[in-house]
Amino acid sequence: MPHIVFNNYEDIKTPFEKNGVLFNFCAQSYNFTDKERRTEYKIGVSYENKEFLLTLKNKNEDKMLKADKITRVTPVTIVKEALNSFIQKVEGNIVFSNTNSFTALKIQPQKEYLKEIDYFVNEFQTTKEIQIEIGFGSGRHLLYQAKNNPDVQFIGLEIHTPSIEQLLKQLKIQNITNVLVVNYDARLFMEFINSNKVGKIFVHFPVPWDKKPHRRIYSNAFIDEALRVLKPSGTLELRTDSRKYFDFCVGLLTNLNSGKITIDINKDLQVSSKYEDRWKKQGKHIYDVVLEAQKEDEDINLKHDFSFDEIDLEKLVKNIPSKPMVEEDFVINIEEVFTIDKDSGLIQVTIGSFNRPLSKYIYIENKKARYFQGNPLPTSANIKAHERLKEILK
Ligand X SMILES: C[S@@+](CC[C@H](N)C(=O)[O-])C[C@H]1O[C@@H](n2cnc3c(N)ncnc32)[C@H](O)[C@@H]1O
Specify binding-site residues for substrate: 211, 241
Distances (CA, A) of 260 to 236, 268, 293: 10, 21, 7
| Interface with ligand X (CB under 6 A) | 134-138, 157-160, 163, 185-187, 204-207, 217, 273-275
Query: CB 177 → ligand X: shortest distance, Å?
Result: 22
Query: CB 132 → ligand X: shortest distance, Å?
Result: 10
Query: CB 164 → ligand X: shortest distance, Å?
Result: 9
Binding site feature residues = 133, 158, 185, 211, 241
State which H helix or E strand residue 221 sits in: helix 220-229
* CB closer to ligand X, 138 vs 294: 138
Query: CB 331 → ligand X: shortest distance, Å?
Result: 19
Q: Of 356, 286, 348, 290, which Cα lies nearest the Cα of 53?
A: 348
* CB closer to ligand X, 2 vs 156: 156
* CB closer to ligand X, 204 vs 384: 204
* CB closer to ligand X, 217 vs 349: 217
* CB closer to ligand X, 106 vs 274: 274
* CB closer to ligand X, 32 vs 248: 248
155-158 long-range contacts (CB < 8 A, ≥24 apart) are: 155/130, 155/131, 155/179, 155/180, 155/181, 155/182, 156/132, 156/180, 156/181, 156/182, 157/132, 157/133, 157/182, 157/184, 157/186, 157/189, 158/182, 158/183
Q: Do the beta carbons of residue 244 and residue 211 sit within 8 Å?
A: no
Beta strands in the chain (DSSP E): 3-7, 16-18, 21-31, 36-47, 50-59, 62-67, 93-97, 114-115, 129-134, 152-157, 179-182, 198-204, 230-240, 260-265, 287-292, 325-326, 331-341, 344-352, 357-365, 368-371
